[in-house]
Amino acid sequence: MQLGSGGRVLLGERRADDPPLPAELEDALREWAAFAVTVAGSGGPAERDLLQRRGRQLAARLADALGRTVTYTDPVTGRVEVVPAPSTGPIPRRGADPEPTPWATGLTISAFTAVVVTLGDVALSRAFAEAFGLLWVPANILVGLGLAPSLHLLRHVRFWRWPALGAAAGLVAAWVVLLLGQLG
């Protein structure tokens, strides 16, 4: 990438496999070339520094757009710089679990957590019902809504998915017990 005569940006050799440049990058290159012509004629040190920095930025964007290394010729000093293509690629995906899922252990942990959560929720809801009547219903709904985001996020964490499953099952079981208690 260098500044040619008449304020044009020369991109050097174009390869057959080069993708087309985005329109906004082409506009930015034209704008930079017009600025370079103005600065080359009567620019001060601050303008020349800005011209050099903007040229390097555009060269990096050009290397990214083309997916390959490009050369940048500084219009102020004439020095040629090699601008490598960034090493960014697609975001790596998480591979399959290298270990088998421990169903027996996991379901045991889930069952234990479900029993503890059920007993705790039923005990607290009954105590709340004795003190405040039917206000245990909105209080229990708030507890469930408060735990839902955390339980939802924990379902992908290797160990914590089991207690999260147990806690969710325990809340559902507690609701069943509490609603059946209201009927009887």
Q: How many residues does the chain have?
A: 184
Domain boundaries of the chain, sorted by first residue: 2-83, 103-183
How far apart are the C-alpha atoms of 16 and 13, rounded to whole Å?
10
User: Which pLDDT belongs to residue 115?
Assistant: 98
Q: Which residue has the tokens 């160990």?
A: 159
Average per-residue pLDDT for the chain? 83
**Dihedral pair phi/psi, residue 93, rounded to 5°:** -90, 150
How far apart are the C-alpha atoms of 130 and 135, rounded to whole Å?
10
Encode pLDDT of 62-73 as tens digits. 888 877 788 888
Encode pLDDT of 103-125 as tens digits. 999 999 999 999 999 999 999 99
Q: Computed over its alpha carbons, how large is the radius of gyration of the chain?
A: 33
In this model, does residue 173 exceed pLDDT 80? yes
In this model, does residue 178 exceed pLDDT 80? yes
User: Which pLDDT belongs to residue 150?
Assistant: 94
Q: Which residues contact 70 (CB under 8 A, 6 or more apart)?
A: 1, 11, 12, 59, 62, 63, 82, 83, 85
User: Which pLDDT belongs to residue 44?
Assistant: 81
153: confidence class by pLDDT, cuts 50, 70, 90: very high
How far apart are the C-alpha atoms of 35 and 109, rounded to whole Å?
68
59 neighbors 72 (Cβ within 8 angstroms): yes
Q: Which of 1-5, 28-32, 41-45, 158-162 has the highest mean pLDDT?
A: 158-162
In this model, does residue 6 exceed pLDDT 80? no
In this model, does residue 145 exceed pLDDT 80? yes
67 neighbors 39 (Cβ within 8 angstroms): no
- Per the model's pLDDT, the better-predicted residue between 4 and 104 turns out to be 104
User: Which pLDDT belongs to residue 148?
Assistant: 94
How far apart are the C-alpha atoms of 99 and 93, rounded to whole Å?
17
10 residue type, one letter = L
How far apart are the C-alpha atoms of 20 and 10, rounded to whole Å?
15
Cα 160 to its chain centre, rounded Å, is 22
Q: How far is CA 44 from CA 7, 26, 76, in A?
A: 19, 26, 11
What average pLDDT does range 160-174 have in this prediction? 96
96: confidence class by pLDDT, cuts 50, 70, 90: low
Q: Which residue has the tokens 């906004």?
A: 24
